[in-house]
Structure formats: C-alpha cells, structure tokens
Amino acid sequence: MQDWLLDLLQTNDLNQAISALSFTSVATAVVLLVILVTLAAFLRDRFPASKPWLFWSMATIVLVVTFILIGSTVYLNTVSTSGGPVHRHADFEMWACGEELELEDPSEFLSNKIGTPVLHEHNDKRIHLEGVVVEPRDGSLGKFMKVTGGSITRNSIVFPTNDGGRSFINGETCQGRPSELQVFVYQTTENGYYTLRKLENPPEYTISDESVVPPGDCIIMEFAPPKQTTSKMCRQYEVALDIGDLKGRKPE
C-alpha cells in the first residue's frame, strides 16, 4: 500500500493520480460496506450491542470517501492553470510520404476513446481536451501523442495505428528523397481569415482555447521532403471555406 501511494505521488500526471486515488477509495469503500452490511445481517439479532459499532463504521467510511472525493476535486482545481474544467478541440491529420495515416481505434472494453479521460481522441481525427488542465503541457501535441501510445520530438514521430504503428526519423527517405517530420498549424483570425505556420518545436505546441473547429486549430503532421508550407487541410476547415465561414488565407 505504501509503495502504491509513493508511486501515485511521484506520477507526472496529477489528473491521472487523483483519478486513480478516487477510484481506489470508492472501490475500497464499496468492499468494506458490503462486508459490514453482511456482518450486520448476521449479527443484528445475535449481538444487538454490535449495531452502533457497525453503524458508525459505515458512516465513517462514507464520510472519509466523501472527503477524499471533494478534497481531491477542490485541490485539482486550485493548483490547475485553467482554474477549472475546460473543453477544447483541435483537428489533426498525419501524412507520411503522401499517405494519410489513421490513429489507432479505441480497443478497451466499453471505451469509445483512445487516451485519457482528459486528453483523448474518439476515432474522429480530433484532439479532445476535456477536464482540468494542471499544466500548460497537458494540452500539448507531445502529451497527446504520449497518451495515445505514440511519441513526437522535433526529429521523429511514432504514430500508433491499428496495424501496430509507424515510426519516422529525420533523414529517412520518401520515394528516394531525404525527408523529415514537419508540423503545420492552421488557426483563424478575428476577421474570418486563417493563418498557416510551420512549428519549430511541435511537441511543445499547445492547442488553442476553442471548443469548435474552426476556430479551433487544424494540425497537419507530415513526414516528407523539407518544405515551408503544406497543401493538406483538415476537413472542417475545408467545409468552412466552402460555406463561407472562412474567407481564405490571411493576406500577407
């Protein structure tokens, strides 16, 4: 038990740590309450004096678990940079040597997402950040790739797919041409245009505070010969252009 608590306190993900603590507390309380209720059923007539002890034991368990749940929630919101739950979305695509790759589908029992409760994807090519953001990096591209089973650096990417995943390192080739990982981001402006830029440090990029795409980000990850721009665009941005919600690229 002490080793488990130590590992919990040393985790780099406070959201997951508190979630694990809450789940374990509730599960332990349920087991203890079942045991006490069973004892009460057997002892109430044979040993009437045990009733107060059993009642206060149950009440204490409920109070302790309630305190843990409320206290952990308040603490998480207090120390978070977001000051409470957020709801942010950003679309993404991954292309390698001209081929679009699809992120691995959810595979856990009764789960419709891959990732964590706070940062995940629903088989919709969309980053979902839904919960308390403890640190800015909790909404970063690097964190998203990590929680979905992959990784990304300035020079490489491991992209999880249904067939086991694909990895690419700068210097490898596409159709015989030296290639590298490049990440581009579409964002919208207040006057209805979009901007497109190439990221210098993709893992550290944090998605915009938007719940709808657009104006939420469109992130294009490409492994291809070096270039300064991309012709790829997320579907929702294409739709916004078609229906006139976006005017086009912001004039230089």
Q: Tell me: the pLDDT tens digits for 225-237? A: 999 999 999 999 9
Q: What six digits make up the tokens of 133?
A: 């953001």
Structural domain tally of the chain? 2
Q: What six digits make up the tokens of 109?
A: 């029992």
pLDDT of residue 25: 82
Is the domain of 92 the same as that of 167? yes
Is the domain of 136 the same as that of 122? yes
Is the domain of 121 the same as that of 68? no
Backbone angles phi, psi at 8, to 5 degrees: -65, -45
Q: Where are the alpha helices (DSSP H) in the chain?
A: 2-9, 14-43, 50-79, 141-147, 235-243
- For 7-59, what is each residue's pLDDT tens digit? 444 445 666 666 677 778 888 889 888 888 888 777 766 777 777 888 888 89
Is the domain of 131 the same as that of 238? yes
pLDDT of residue 82: 62
Is the domain of 142 the same as that of 68? no
Pick the last residue of a domain from 54, 79, 104. Answer: 79
Classify each residue of 209-226 as buried b or exposed e, where b means 16 or more C-beta atoms within 10 Å of its C-beta: ebeebbbbbbbbbbbbee
Is the domain of 119 the same as that of 208? yes
d(CA 183, CA 205): 10
Task: Show Cβ contacts of residue 193 under 8 Å, excluding neighbours closer than 6 positions.
Answer: 246, 247, 248, 249, 250, 251
Is the domain of 45 the same as that of 8? yes
Pick the last residue of a domain from 79, 107, 137. Answer: 79
pLDDT of residue 132: 80
Structural domain including 96 reads 85-249
Is the domain of 57 the same as that of 98? no
Is the domain of 201 the same as that of 128? yes
Arithmetic mean of pLDDT, 206-222: 96
Contact 187, 210 (CB under 8 A): no
Is the domain of 94 the same as that of 217? yes
Is the domain of 112 the same as that of 69? no
Contact 112, 120 (CB under 8 A): no
Q: What six digits make up the tokens of 46?
A: 């044979």
Task: Show Cβ contacts of residue 243 under 8 Å, excluding neighbours closer than 6 positions.
Answer: none
Pick the last residue of a domain from 22, 48, 79. Answer: 79
Is the domain of 127 the same as that of 238? yes
